[in-house]
């Protein structure tokens, strides 16, 4: 994990974005205090974007919805949870 001040980040933004693209996490500091974390896009978010781009899902930034033609094998999640509680 890399830590960088805002001034340094502004000066070399492209360099830090490149580091994030290669899997590095960057902590942004202001006056020595951590204020933000820049991380690579998650596999889950990439999968959702792929579904949205293909028209199989709709997403406005909140909870994903509108999946079509997706079949789930096995018991439902609610049934599994209830069984595990016993």
What distance in Å separates the CA atoms of residue 53 and residue 72, rounded to the nearest whole number?
21
Tokens of 52: 């949205």
Write the DSSP symbol of residue 40. P
For residue 66, the model assigns a pLDDT of 63
For residue 16, the model assigns a pLDDT of 97
For residue 67, the model assigns a pLDDT of 64
What distance in Å separates the CA atoms of residue 62 and residue 14, rounded to the nearest whole number?
29
Query: Would you identify the CATH topology of the domain 2-38?
Result: YefM-like fold (3.40.1620)
For residue 6, the model assigns a pLDDT of 96
What distance in Å separates the CA atoms of residue 59 and residue 68, rounded to the nearest whole number?
13
Domain definitions of the chain by residue range: 2-38, 43-85
Span 30-66, pLDDT tens digits: 999 999 999 999 988 888 889 889 988 877 777 666 6
């Amino acid at each position: 994990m890399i830590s960088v001040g805002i001034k340094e980040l502004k000066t070399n933004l492209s360099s830090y974005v490149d580091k994030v693209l290669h899997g590095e996490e960057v902590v942004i500091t202001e006056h020595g205090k951590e204020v933000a974390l820049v991380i690579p896009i998650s596999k889950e978010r990439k999968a959702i974007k792929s579904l949205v781009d293909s028209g199989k899902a709709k997403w406005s930034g909140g909870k994903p919805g509108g999946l079509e033609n997706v079949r789930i094998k096995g018991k439902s999640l609610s049934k599994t949870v209830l069984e595990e509680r016993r």
